[in-house]
Structures are given as structure tokens and as C-alpha cells.
Amino acid sequence: MKVLVPVKRVIDYNVKARVKSDQTGVDLANVKMSMNPFCEIAVEEAVRLKEKGVATEVVAVSIGPQQAQETLRTALAMGADRAILVQSDQDLEPLAVAKVLQAIIGEESPDLVLMGKQAIDGDNNAVGQMLSALLDWPQATFASEVVVEGGKAKVTREVDGGLQTLEVNLPAIVTADLRLNEPRYASLPNIMKAKKKELAVKELGSLGVDTKPRLKVVKVTEPAKRSAGIKVETAGDLVTNLKTAGVL
């Protein structure tokens, strides 16, 4: 069974993002970049499936600039077998990303696409669902547990009311939630081995996919700063201050 894992290069989650002075987007100059945390979880789960003997090959794919090769090398160091970079300097919208992945899936024919539920930069939570619609494949989103056997995937997913378990026929799309697993750290020997693993580079234009933007960013602003809190001596003071603030 072949598992395809899309991964995205994003601003490291420990870095405080800065908005450009012209409010057209986030400033990426001289900022530490890393693999999207949800993508990391998806890679870990795919590698675990291989370690269990369920999967035979794990293929990581990324869409982005040349520097995204570093992100793919991280996936290879974690245990992916090979990687594909669709090179593009465009910041693609979710629908365009889904179309590019559809083209790659047409070439690779995976049995399972395991991906992060969202990227922490755009927070769109849309690519997995759009890809499922384009391929007409079943989907199970927000996975906190994945069991694959007998040509089916049993997925426990987190919903507002608790946990829901779905069973989908393969091939299918599964998106990983935060509590699916704890990603491993890539060891130094595996980092060195990753340098020798196959990493194919394709140009976005070679796929013949319509990636023209359909959305326009009007303005990007920083969130409003929170006002400082105050300390109160007694519960009565707390109630008085809440009433004054209009909370009670």
C-alpha cells in the first residue's frame, strides 16, 4: 500500500509573525521556516503504518519554492521513502493546491492520502475536503486514530460532541488532527540518509493545472492588543469590577 503525504513549509510555530507595513501579507524575510505541525503528524502516522507492515511506501510531496526541499528532507529523515517537490513561487490558494495534488495522485496512484487537517499560516482547513471532492474519494477529517486493514480505514475523529468513528473504503483522504500522535525527532543518522533519498522536482507548469487566484487579500492586520489586567483583593471587588465593565 502506498501512502502519499502532502507537507507544507510554513513559518515556524515558535516565531511571532509580523505583518508587512503595507498590510499586504505576512513578512517572510529572514524568518525561520519549518514543516507545518499538522503535516508532521501526518508524516509520523504514515511512517508508523509502514513500520507496522501496513504501508509499503511513503511518498512526501510539497508545493512551494526551492527552499521547500528542506521541508521534504525533514520528511525523508522521519522515514518517508522518497519525495516530490512541485516547484512554484506562487502562494497557491487551497483549490489550486488540491488540483496540483490531484495531478500528482494521478501519476502516483496512492492507496491513501494522509495529510494535516490545516496549515498554521492560512488556517483554511480546506485542501483535504476539496481534494476528496475532486477525486470523488471518501474522506475522514480531524483524525485522532487511524487503523488500516482489509482495504478499509477506520478513523476516529474529534467532533464537538466527543469522538466519532468512521470506516471508509480505500483509496481515501484522511486529515490528521493534533492528538493523532507525537511526531518523532529525526536522528542524525537518518538526516544523513535522507540526503541520499530520491527527491524529484517538477515545475508547476508541467502539470497543466489551472492555478490562477480566485481570491483577493484586501488587508492583513495584527490582532488587537489586549489591555492589561488588574488584581483584586476580594471576591466582592471582583464582582464590582465585572459589573463596572458590563460583564455582569
Beta strands in the chain (DSSP E): 2-6, 9-11, 33-35, 57-64, 82-87, 112-116, 139-149, 152-159, 162-169, 172-176, 199-203
Q: Are 117 and 133 in contact (CB under 8 A)?
A: no
- Element housing 242 (H / E): helix 235-244
Domain ranges of the chain: 2-244
Residue with cell 527552499: 67
CA distance 93 to 176: 20
CATH architecture of 2-244: 3-Layer(aba) Sandwich (3.40)
pLDDT score of 165: 96
Specify the pTM: 0.87
pLDDT score of 159: 87
pLDDT in tens, 57-111: 999 999 999 999 999 999 999 999 999 999 998 889 999 999 999 999 999 999 9
C-alpha cell at 9: 513549509
Q: Which amino acid is at 242?
A: L
Is pLDDT of 192 > 60? yes
Higher pLDDT, 30 or 197: 197
Residues contacting 245, CB < 8 A, separation 6+: none
